[in-house]
């Protein structure tokens, strides 16, 4: 069982990559609701996210044309756009740089 400090660090790290995690999930599961994204992230990482956190992130992705929503105020389903796929591919290609950055942040002086 993780202590509170470890849980907080996990949550902060996952929130930093929330857009990538959402895009990645939408690539595997197109046309899902924000609730389904929320449920997946909770099950995958055992971290309770507020609906506001997830819906805000999805809204920002939609504004950036990385995801497309379909539906109305009673329910929307989301899918990845071509721009979203390109951004996700770019993130995958940036993995070495991201790892190097995190390593330098966490290295001892």
- pLDDT tens digits, 25-43: 999 998 999 999 999 999 9
Give the C-alpha distances (Å, rounded to integers) separating 36 from 26, 69, 77, 86: 10, 14, 9, 23
Domain encompassing residue 30: 4-106
Task: Say if residue 9's pLDDT is above 70.
Answer: yes
Per the structure, how many domains does the chain have?
A: 1
Whether pTM exceeds 0.75: yes
CATH of the domain at 93: 1.10.10.10
Mean per-residue pLDDT over the chain, rounded: 91
């Amino acid at each position: 069982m993780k202590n509170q400090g470890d849980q907080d660090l996990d949550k902060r790290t996952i929130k930093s990559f929330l857009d990538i995690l959402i895009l990645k999930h939408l690539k595997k599961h197109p046309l899902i609701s924000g609730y389904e994204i929320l449920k997946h992230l909770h099950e995958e990482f055992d971290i309770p996210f507020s609906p506001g956190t997830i819906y805000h992130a999805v809204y920002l992705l939609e504004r950036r044309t990385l995801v497309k929503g379909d539906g109305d105020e009673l329910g929307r389903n989301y899918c990845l756009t071509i721009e979203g796929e390109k951004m996700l591919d770019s993130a995958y290609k940036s993995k070495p740089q991201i790892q190097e950055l995190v390593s330098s942040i966490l290295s001892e002086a």
